[in-house]
Amino acid sequence: MRITDVVLLEVSGEFPVEGPFSEERRVDPLDAYPEFSQPFAPHRPEPGERARHRDLFLEIRTDEEVTGLFGPVDGPHAPILRREMRSVLIDCDPLAIEAIWDLLLRRNRHARSGHYMMAMSALDCALWDLKGKALGLPVYRLLGGPVQEPVRAYASMLGFSLEPDALARRAQEYQALGYHAQKWFFRHGPADGGEGASRNVAMVRAAREAVGDGPALMFDAFNSWDVPYAVDVGRRIAEYRPAWLEEPVPCNRIRALRTIRERAGIPIATGEHLYSRWQVKDLLDADAVDVIQADPDWCGGISELLKIASVCSAYDVPLCPHGHSLHAALHVAAALPANVLPQVEFLILHQPHKQRFMRGYLQPEGGVLRPPETPGLGIELDPTKTDTVREIE
């Protein structure tokens, strides 16, 4: 079998607008600049309002008509896939995934992070989908699973209102649905001063009081804090036993992360913006983090996430993949022990949009997920949800 083409499919369709996509925004690194820090104004749809959506999917084609599909793919990766990687892949053996990964890494000196590695990730995941279809097995079985069956999912609450009463209602709603853990997103950072810090603490308090002592609670600062602010807020929320404080500063600030971890006295998580096992190892060597959150959509694909999991297991640090999408992380989780990869992230408000063009819908039941049993990853476009599907250059 040989690769004959690497194609980007633009998929579009029109859907009803059902309520505001988000009720609140999270803190952002740009909040440090007042002119770029905008108040949040949720869009209130009119009755019957519809909106057109567009996504990109990557398809790998072969001379035996077996294909691999992955997506949605982020827009900046499209030209890298088509103009830099396509010519290298033509006539390659699509089952030689490790060789292709190493070849692409070696051919570009800027390949170790950023958009190039993210494009490699999409390609790698599509190759695993193709391999599963070629061998007639779901990817998690190719990886040695099932090990976890089912896989626990935590409720990621990005976009929900942070007003205390509304937060409490939502927290209790998703607790009742069986989620063992929830992650909430801070709204305020250093630019908001002491009042903002107090509101962040109040958010944590409201979440803990709503769900009681049992469920795990995580909180995300989205790379938007600094060391003094993170230490101050971290110490103040420690009594509410957060399972982790996520990305208080960017993941390449290793010394800062270690300082926050030591001085705040709460677990630190980071890693969705890490791009390989080598970057993960640097953090672990420095004792800077308690949880790694590498994302198979960005870190180098399924192939690299498996290697990152091995590195994490050697340090006894759990890997909890970031939830940019779901299929790839879920297959890896199903093939690894729970002490290595204990849970996946399910973005409550965002997953319906990630899966809008797909046949079927991966939805936790009782707070757990089962990977698709169809060959490959289980990503399949649903023609009833698309108006147009066209190849783009």
Alpha carbons 145 and 151: distance in angstroms, whole number: 12
Cis-peptide, bond into residue 72, ω within 30° of zero = yes
pLDDT score recorded for residue 18: 80
Q: What is the pLDDT of residue 28?
A: 96
CB-neighbour burial class of residue 229 (10 A; exposed 0-12, middle 13-18, buried 19+): buried
Q: What is the pLDDT of residue 19?
A: 76
What per-residue confidence (pLDDT) applies to 38? Answer: 79
On whether both 57 and 156 belong to a single domain, the answer is: no
101 shares its domain with 145: no
Question: pLDDT value at position 73?
Answer: 97
Rounded Cα gap, residues 160 and 138, in angstroms? 34
Task: Give, for 170, the enclosing helix (H) or strand (E).
Answer: helix 164-176
* Burial environment of residue 61 by CB neighbours within 10 A (0 to 12, 13 to 18, 19 or more): middle
Look at residues 77, 103, 138 and tell me which one is the last residue of a structural domain. Answer: 138
User: What is the pLDDT, as a whole number, of residue 388?
Assistant: 94
Are 42 and 20 in contact, with CB atoms under 8 Å apart?
A: yes
Q: Can you give the pLDDT of all 393 residues of the chain as single tens digits?
A: 999 999 999 999 999 988 777 999 999 999 999 998 878 888 788 888 899 999 999 999 999 999 999 999 999 999 999 999 999 999 999 999 999 999 999 999 988 899 999 999 999 999 999 999 999 999 999 999 999 999 999 999 999 999 999 999 999 999 999 999 999 999 999 999 999 999 999 999 999 999 999 999 999 999 999 999 999 999 999 999 999 999 999 999 999 999 999 999 999 999 999 999 999 999 999 999 999 999 999 999 999 999 999 999 999 999 999 999 999 999 999 999 999 999 999 999 999 999 999 999 999 999 999 999 999 999 999 999 999 999 998
**Structure token pair of residue 265:** 């006295």
Q: What pLDDT shows up at residue 41?
A: 82
- Domain limit, last residue, from 112, 138, 164: 138
**388 found inside a domain:** no
* Structural domain that includes position 75: 3-138
- The answer on 226 and 149 residing in a single domain is yes
Q: Are 171 and 129 members of one domain? A: no
Q: What is the pLDDT of residue 377?
A: 98
The model's pTM is 0.97
Residue 167 and residue 106 share a domain: no
- Quote the tokens at residue 314: 């050697």
| 123 and 148 within one domain | no
Given 89, 104, 138, the domain boundary residue is 138
Residue 122: closest CA among 158, 92, 154, 80:
80
What is residue 133's predicted lDDT score, i.e. its pLDDT? 98
Whole-number Å distance between alpha carbons of 149 and 67 = 27
Total domains present in the chain: 2
Residue 44 within any structural domain of the chain:
yes
Whether residue 267 is contained in a domain is answered as: yes
Angle at 308 between CA 358 and CA 98, to 5 degrees: 70
219 lies in the same domain as 113: no
Same domain flag for 116 and 209: no
